[in-house]
Amino acid sequence: MGFLNPDRSVLPRAALVIGGASEAGGSGEAFEHVYPGTAEVTTQLRLANADDVDRAVAAARAAAPAWRALAGDRRRDLMLRLAALIEEKAAEMIPLLSIENGSIVIAGPHMSADAAQKFRYFGGWADKIEGRTVATWGGPAHDYVSYEPYGVVGLIVPWNGPLFAATMCLAPALAAGNCVVLKAPENAPFSIMKLVEIIGLAGFPPGVVNLVTGGPDVGAAMVAHSGIDKIEFIGSGATARKILASAADTLKPVGLELGGKSAVIVFADANLQGAARRGLAGAVSANGQGCVNGTRLLVERSIYEPYLQMLAAMAGHIKVGDPLAMDTIMGPVISEASLGRIQGMVGGGVADGARLVCGGERLGGDHAAGFFLPVTVLADVSPGSAIARTEVFGPVLVVTPFDSEEEAVTLANDSEYGLGAYIHTTNLARAHRVAGQMMAGQVQVNGSGEAMTPCVPFGGMKRSGHGRLGGIEALREFQQVRNVWVNLQD
């Protein structure tokens, strides 16, 4: 069966929204967006540049005093209205998620519902922001703490899950009383363009949310801009280093959610079928391009070969193909360059002694033009090899045996990353004991991503970043603390 043709007529038109005004393109270079399923150009965008960032920042700063002063119940109602509109317009949003980066269309309803849920959850916080009083000594005084918005926040989000990442930052930033300059990634901009369009329909004041679509130069202009008070970045460690170096000039605070090489520990007492199915999710979720995906599988030796056999059998049933087809379970990676890099890493793993269990070869036939790689499993992977220590960002799992709980913990923590960790066991005491030793920001027991909800904190340790998105912690991520001390003696 041939590929479904992406309907270009559904693509949103506004690549920039500044001060409430929609603009078809910016002042920067032209960019051709490529659909990963067929390598065809869908549209050409005129990207933003530094001058457009200046205009967006000016609009946000002009809107900031009124937005900050707006009563919490008013911000709440706007965010609840936005959540309802996202649900109402889900059918318009869903195809964009597939066209922009090859995400499977059957995941679209969940992604749009998740976006709505974030605004509903953080809208519920908007009218509940309160401070606290502090007991003092040394004389009669009244001391209190208040939580204040930064003012203007710059949000830079990645191409692999732009709607998910944008709403994870945008909802708490708005609830806290900040105005926003949001950068949509040039190679996957459409869902964010649609989101900002819906924000305007919801009645948000002009300038509260400003959109600039662009590449690294636009992000760099945002980080360096003296009119942006804080940067929140989701992306790679290499880019994060550049951001931190630039932000040092203005002493701008930066929140970072970066990459991962998340360990999946499978103990012999685990539900083997469930552990294999959830282990497979590390390769399949987001077409293997998820920062928190569990891609480094550590399996107790007594079940090692049965687990591998089950994993390979399940992988053989994963339908890889057209992202717009309803029976597709896994789509393409983002680009030709990414596919070549991933295959090179797989080849390097085999050269280092790993055993190729399944996958590894680019799909041909009807899929030859697209950027498709099936689920790829490498076994007997040395913990010190490059494939075991480097984030692949593709549908590749590496599997290593262990002999004891202590060895499993040591192997899991032997990584420069610390975003996620997954533990599979039916022993509750072991689950808590091992979870308490994981150097990771989010630990899931007998799970594979179910904890990624708006009400729980998410973020990394070590080189996976700092700061938290989700829960009350995300609200605090976009607030500053003010302390006021009042002398009651004079």
| Closest by CA position to 178, among listed 68, 277, 342, 284 | 68
DSSP string, 48-92: --HHHHHHHHHHHHHHHHHHHHS-HHHHHHHHHHHHHHHHHTHHH
Identify the pLDDT of residue 336: 97
DSSP string, 310-343: HHHHHHTT--B--TTSTT-SB---S-HHHHHHHH
Distance CA(416)–CA(422), nearest Å, equals 17
Distance CA(129)–CA(172), nearest Å, equals 12
Length of the chain: 490
Identify the pLDDT of residue 2: 66
Pairing of strands 294-300, 396-402: parallel
Distance (Å) of CA 20 to CA 2, 13, 128, 194, 229: 41, 14, 27, 14, 21
Identify the pLDDT of residue 460: 97
| Domain 8-258+467-483 is found in CATH 3.60.21.10 | no
Q: Does the annotation mark 257 as catalytic?
A: yes
Question: CATH 3.40.309.10 spans which residues of the chain?
Answer: 262-453
Distance CA(142)–CA(111), nearest Å, equals 47
For 137, counting Cβ atoms within 10 Å of its Cβ (0-12 exposed, 13-18 middle, 19+ buried), the class is exposed
Q: What are the beta bridge partners of residue 148?
A: 480
Identify the pLDDT of residue 451: 86
Tally: H helices and E strands in the chain: 15, 22
DSSP string, 238-302: HHHHHHHHHHTTTT--EEEE----EEEEE-TTS-HHHHHHHHHHHHHGGGG--TT-EEEEEEEGG
| Closest by CA position to 414, among listed 437, 443, 442, 447 | 437
Identify the pLDDT of residue 139: 84
Contact 330, 376 (CB under 8 A): no
Question: CATH 3.40.605.10 spans which residues of the chain?
Answer: 8-258+467-483
Identify the pLDDT of residue 79: 98
Q: Which of 23, 179, 197, 291 is catalytic?
A: 291
Contacts of 284 (CB under 8 A, 6+ apart): 318, 329, 330, 375, 395
The DSSP secondary-structure symbol of 3 reads: P
pLDDT 10s digit of each residue in the chain, 490 long? Answer: 568 888 899 999 999 999 999 999 999 999 999 999 999 999 999 999 999 999 999 999 999 999 999 999 999 999 999 999 999 999 999 999 999 999 999 999 999 999 999 999 999 999 999 999 999 988 899 999 999 999 999 999 999 999 999 999 999 999 999 999 999 999 999 999 999 999 999 999 999 999 999 999 999 999 999 999 999 999 999 999 999 999 999 999 999 999 999 999 999 999 999 999 999 999 999 999 999 999 999 999 999 999 999 999 999 999 999 999 999 999 999 999 999 999 999 999 999 999 999 999 999 999 999 999 999 999 999 999 999 999 999 999 999 999 999 999 999 999 999 999 999 999 999 999 999 999 999 999 999 988 889 999 999 999 999 999 999 999 999 999 999 999 998 7
Identify the pLDDT of residue 4: 84
Pairing of strands 417-418, 461-462: antiparallel
Q: Which CATH number fits domain 262-453: 3.40.309.10, 3.40.30.10, 3.40.50.2000, 3.40.50.720?
A: 3.40.309.10
Identify the pLDDT of residue 449: 85
| Residue 441, helix vs strand vs coil | coil
Q: Which of 186, 232, 257, 477 is catalytic?
A: 257
Q: Does the annotation mark 455 as catalytic?
A: no
Contacts of 304 (CB under 8 A, 6+ apart): 399, 401
Task: Give, rounded to a whole angstrom, the gap between the first and last alpha carbons of the chain.
Answer: 84
Identify the pLDDT of residue 57: 98
